Chains A and B, each alone.
Chain A
């Protein structure tokens, strides 16, 4: 039990907080048929992370966070500009800008020597869930021992939930019928930009702890799992979070403890296992829906 509290609980809590933040916002992306946007943003923040590292010379969290946030917002504005100036569609404009950003990030990483230091590509992909420990502080309150990543994830989750609660009506309208939204006093472009900025912030805050693979999975999969079964937007968000939490918890324990049952000494990568489980659940959810429909018919 002690080992669980100190080792597994912080990692699981981090994963679930990232799920609440990214998973909630992912519903709006999926409702807007823009599930790819999450993927794109997760790629776009890379040059910002690297640039933040290069400018300060340390893996200072504040610098990298700021760089990533600027890169995310910059890429979104650039994609909007490409879309307005050319005849490409929204998705294609995003694709152009975000792959370019990612390429820039990789080029920076390779040429500027960041690779030799501490910026581990593996860490970028799979995060650092396994390094989150809770150590009871020798003195002072128990709160001081909570890993810093937990706080930034909790803040991101709060921002995502608050944004969703405040603009639920307007976001629903925007997703369902953009032109009608304008007749209802909603400024579609401003709201779209706000959504993307909040998504970027959430992605950046989740990046360090859970890695880009799991961020992308949390943005797209829970909403895609819930979509075939939901009858209302609120229902879809609730279902996506419940299903996502159940799957993530199950997958975490599978990764942590299943190898031991087979005599292995190590554990599997938790972020990778959760991502795989979420990805597998999407088609299963759709198959379940069509089987239910067939039975009813």
Chain B
């Protein structure tokens, strides 16, 4: 398979999706296949777009390739072929400042010697540039981001002393400080209690209402409809995409998860 970069392919081939129209789309993916260098790709032939100010869940069974897809989109995988991956109508390298990736909480070493404020301030490093220290302005911005996610009171606490839900919100606050327009989250609700899940969802909804676009891997089928307006169902390939009400049908879920739901279908 020949690797085609989005620059070579360009965006405006078909008249329906003119580049002008597409340039406002936070994310556009077409013909994406990705894996870890083995015989078979983990995800194949993926195509979707995210509209601005939407909140989309990416669901699917274990091993469906949800995290793989996120990493492939963000060019974090060695093996990825795509006809087009465009962030705000351009390549990732030109749009990194507008994109925030929030990894699984378990992917981070929480014993790292840093306070909540230190971690959030990391979101400002790009703006600060090389050789500049985190000054008072940056600290204020970071503090404001922590306030937004309801962690103003623990800003100086070491991150090792925060609860799992607080750690997750610190990572979201970092994306806020970065002032990203597209937030891509890998399982933001993993291993948090129901109350914390509600608070995180509230923070994300608040961001969407302020014109941010959110794509999150989600695990819990029961809460998808409560938290997300849009849903994509993945199992190697994209099985369905639409509003939660349209997509979360027994037929689709049976296809994705193999539940014995045929009688309801």
Q: Please tell me if B10 contacts chain A, counting CB pairs below 8 Å.
A: no
Q: Is the CB of B101 within 8 A of A183?
A: yes
Q: Mark B222-245, 1 if CB is under 8 A from A, else 0.
A: 000000000000000000000000
Question: In chain A between 162 and 202, which residues have their CB closer than 8 angstroms to a CB of chain B?
Answer: 166-167, 169-170, 172-173, 175-177, 179-180, 182-186
| Given contacts A179-B76, A179-B101, A184-B122, A232 and B96 within 8 Å (CB-CB) | no
A residues near B109, Cβ cutoff 8 Å: 33, 176
Q: Is the CB of A169 within 8 A of B134?
A: yes
Q: In the complex the two chains form, what is the Cα distance from A230 to B178 in whole Å? A: 26
Q: Please tell me if B114 contacts chain A, counting CB pairs below 8 Å.
A: yes
User: When the two chains form the complex, which single residue of A185, A227, A231 contacts B126, counting CB atoms closer than 8 Å?
Assistant: A185
Q: Is the CB of A184 within 8 A of B126?
A: yes
Q: Is the CB of B101 within 8 A of A180?
A: yes
Q: Please tell me if A152 contacts chain B, counting CB pairs below 8 Å.
A: no
Q: In the complex the two chains form, what is the Cα distance from A173 to B100 in whole Å? A: 14
Q: In the complex the two chains form, what is the Cα distance from A252 to B96 in whole Å? A: 51
What's the nearest-Cβ distance from chain B to residue A268, in Å? 35
Number of A residues, CB within 8 Å of B: 25
Q: In the complex the two chains form, what is the Cα distance from A63 to B164 in whole Å? A: 54
Q: Is the CB of A176 within 8 A of B112?
A: yes
A residues near B133, Cβ cutoff 8 Å: 169
Q: Is the CB of A179 within 8 A of B103?
A: yes
Q: Mark B117-131, 1 if CB is under 8 A from A, else 0.
A: 011001101101111
Q: Is the CB of A177 within 8 A of B122?
A: yes
Q: Is the CB of B112 within 8 A of A175?
A: yes
Q: Mark B78-121, 1 if CB is under 8 A from A, else 0.
A: 00000000000000000010011101000011001111001100
Which chain B residue lies CB-closest to A31? B112
Q: Please tell me if A233 contacts chain B, counting CB pairs below 8 Å.
A: yes
Q: Please tell me if A57 contacts chain B, counting CB pairs below 8 Å.
A: no
Q: Is the CB of A180 within 8 A of B118?
A: no
Question: In chain A between 132 and 180, which residues have their CB closer than 8 angstroms to a CB of chain B?
Answer: 166-167, 169-170, 172-173, 175-177, 179-180
Q: Please tell me if B158 contacts chain A, counting CB pairs below 8 Å.
A: yes
Given A183-B101, A186-B125, 6 other A-B residues pairs in contact with their CB atoms under 8 A: A169-B132, A176-B108, A179-B74, A182-B96, A184-B122, A231-B158
- List B residues at the A interface (Cβ < 8 Å): 74, 76, 96, 99-101, 103, 108-109, 112-115, 118-119, 122-123, 125-126, 128-134, 158, 174, 178
Sampled A-B contacts (13; CB under 8 Å)? A166-B130, A167-B130, A169-B125, A170-B125, A176-B109, A176-B112, A179-B76, A179-B101, A180-B103, A180-B174, A183-B126, A231-B115, A233-B114
